[in-house]
Amino acid sequence: MTSYNDLWLIGIAWRLDRLRWAPTALLTGCVRGNGLCMAEFPADVPAWLDQQLTDRDLAAAMCQGCPVADECLELELRSGGADTVNVWGGLSADDRRELHPHWLRRGERAERGVAR
């Protein structure tokens, strides 16, 4: 039986399919140029900074509203794979590790592996 968490991760893997043909260099430039985490914090300290958050909630808070969260997640799954760490694409490292096998099974990734 497929769990709710697995269905959630499979849905994310499907969403990332639109990026599977994007060159890694293009994704890197996109994330570096447009990622919210690449800019300095605004003068106001984010409200979530003082809260006790789980890794999942912290990742969601840090990446909330980022226009390139999917591109960031795709990039990290390609480069970090199952050894991913830190916050990328609005998911915690544990969530990305669980997502990785679902992501690998999508389309031609299963045939050619992760490297590009």
Interval 2-21: pLDDT, tens: 798 899 999 999 999 999 88
Interval 38-77: pLDDT, tens: 876 566 666 666 778 888 888 888 888 899 999 999 999 9
Nearest Cα to Cα of residue 54 among 88, 91, 21: 91
